[in-house]
Amino acid sequence: MKTGEVLGRGTTPDFGVFDRTKPNAFIRPSRYEPLMRYAQPPFGYLKEDISSRMLSLISRTGEPKGGSFVYDQEGRLIGNWFAVPDAKLHEMSWDDMLAFAPHYLDTRRIEMGFSGRLWSAFTSASPST
């Protein structure tokens, strides 16, 4: 890449860096592909003026301003949960996963993410209104 080169266009770009000197704090890192274990927000790897300009465009209210996808905490509900014991992420479908994490913009709100089979089980168990 060269200074000034267009990397992409879009309304919600998503890009990152893989830094093998900074492993993410997953409770069970073996569940994740090697690159995900080292994925980092790109802002600390850019020139300060570029990083500051990019961060000023982000509406996120909490830290880290550049976001995160690693919320695992031993003994707490927060983070990624898997329905298949000892399976790796790439071996499962989205039906087998559940996540409790801060909202991507308002980090004071915790959200639950699930779909497919888990969503069907949840909605069929809910009382009808």
pLDDT digit string (tens) for 62-88?
Answer: 888 888 889 999 999 898 887 776 777
Q: Is residue 11 part of a domain?
A: no
Over residues 12-20, mean pLDDT: 80
Closest to 15 in 3D by CA, of 4, 6, 3: 6
Q: Is residue 43 part of a domain?
A: yes
Q: Is residue 9 part of a domain?
A: no
Contacts of 46 (CB under 8 A, 6+ apart): 54
Checking DSSP bridges between strand 39-40 and strand 17-18, what pairing results, if any? antiparallel
Q: Based on the structure, what is the number of domains in the chain?
A: 1
Q: Identify the domain containing residue 63 by its residue range.
A: 17-121
User: Could you tell me what percent of the chain has a pLDDT over 70?
Assistant: 82
Q: Is residue 112 part of a domain?
A: yes
pLDDT tens digits along 96-116: 778 899 998 899 999 988 766
Report whether 97 contacts 116 (CB < 8 A): no
User: pLDDT averaged over the chain?
Assistant: 82
Chain position carrying tokens 């559940």? 98
Rounded distance between C-alpha atoms, residue 48 and residue 89, angstroms: 34
User: Could you tell me what percent of the chain has a pLDDT over 90?
Assistant: 26
Q: Is residue 59 part of a domain?
A: yes
